[in-house]
Amino acid sequence: MTETITTRQMMQALDTMCDTIEDQKEYLSELDGAIGDGDHGVNMAKCFREVQKKLTESSAEDVGTLLKDVGMVVLNSVGGAMGALYGTFFLKLSQASAGKSEVNLSDLVAMLQTGEQGILDIGKASLGDKTLIDTLSPAVRAIEAAEKEGKKLGGALADFEQAAKVGMKSTREMLAKMGRASRLGERTIGHQDAGATSCYFILRSLASAIS
């Protein structure tokens, strides 16, 4: 098993991400419809169709340039908070991988820490607020722990994906404290957060880069 993710592998992971969001758009909108506007899946799919278009035209030689291209598309093609949050996430990942034609586990940890911080800075959500942070932060903590334990890249990414999944599912029992859903108060308990779910699909696709 390879111990790095090349630009080409990252490109494939991003392509998988686009396909996944397209496949899951109805599910994401259904989740969003329970406690939000009901358009999360539609908006995400529209955005990632643009990302996929960009990927087919991309001649990026390094991981940073590739992720920057994705970040700019996301920032400009999803309206509202999600565009800003996910756009920032990819742009921060790109900053931390600038000029690298492949990234290893410690690069990846640094990238994800930077991406997480970017979302925390603009989103102002905390763990337990029933947002995508409840998926992202546990996943980042898991990959940090895996690196400290000396795990190989494949094992670390498996831990990362598993923690993201557990985090996503944990939002079902949370009370929404951010965005439109927060107005519904107690009625949000029992519903999985749509943003936490799309975040899981994004992170799962990233974790697939070396499979």
Domain harbouring 128, CATH code: 1.25.40.340
- Provide the 3-class DSSP secondary structure of residue 4: strand
For the chain, what is the domain count?
1
Q: What's the pLDDT at 1?
A: 58
Which residues does 127 contact at the CB level (< 8 Å), separation at least 6? 133, 134, 137, 138
Residue 104 CA to residue 207 CA, distance in Å, equals: 13
Per the document, the length of the chain is 211
Q: What's the pLDDT at 4?
A: 96
Q: What's the pLDDT at 183?
A: 87
End-to-end CA distance of the chain: 9
Residue 70 CA to residue 91 CA, distance in Å, equals: 8
Which residues does 123 contact at the CB level (< 8 Å), separation at least 6? 81, 85, 131, 132, 133, 178
Q: What's the DSSP call for residue 127?
A: T
Q: What's the pLDDT at 77?
A: 86
Q: What is the pLDDT along the chain (211 residues), one digit of tens a residue?
A: 579 999 999 999 999 999 999 999 999 999 999 988 899 999 999 999 999 999 999 999 999 999 999 999 999 987 778 899 999 999 999 999 999 999 999 999 999 999 999 999 998 899 999 999 999 999 999 999 999 999 999 999 999 999 999 999 999 999 899 887 888 888 889 999 999 999 999 999 999 998 6
Quickly list DSSP for 103-124.
Answer: EEHHHHHHHHHHHHHHHHHHH-
pTM: 0.96
Q: What's the pLDDT at 69?
A: 96
Residue 111: name the closest of 17, 210, 203, 1 by CA: 203
- Provide the 3-class DSSP secondary structure of residue 5: strand
Residue 53 structural domain = 4-210
